[in-house]
Amino acid sequence: MDASIDRIFICDTWHHIQNQTHYLGLMKKMLKPGGQIIMIDFQKKETPVGAPIEMRIAREDLILQTESEGFRLAKEHSFLPYQYFLIFTLN
């Protein structure tokens, strides 16, 4: 299964993952060269929908966490009103 996946999509669930650093390492191992991780999650502020604020991860914290494991933010979309939409690739 190593280097066999083009894209991993995670939406509104990252806060449920235990040992996120280990999980990022597994994703890094599974992605093909040029592969992507797409992460959509709720902004860490009060919104009319979404997980409780104490469960959310701030956009900046997610970027730091992911970049510290060898990924880089390749693209960001801003069309969602309450969520951030980040696309990471391997450095």
pLDDT digits (tens, 9 = 90+) for 22-68: 999 999 999 999 999 999 999 999 999 999 999 999 999 999 999 99
Q: State the pLDDT at residue 91.
A: 75
Report the Cα–Cα distance between both ends of the chain, in Å, rounded: 20
Q: State the pLDDT at residue 90.
A: 86
Q: State the pLDDT at residue 63.
A: 98
Instruction: State the chain's mean pLDDT as an integer.
Output: 95
pTM of this structure = 0.93
Q: Where are the domains of the chain?
A: 1-45+70-80
The 3-state secondary structure of 62-84, one letter per residue: HHHHHHCCCEEEEEEECCCCCEE
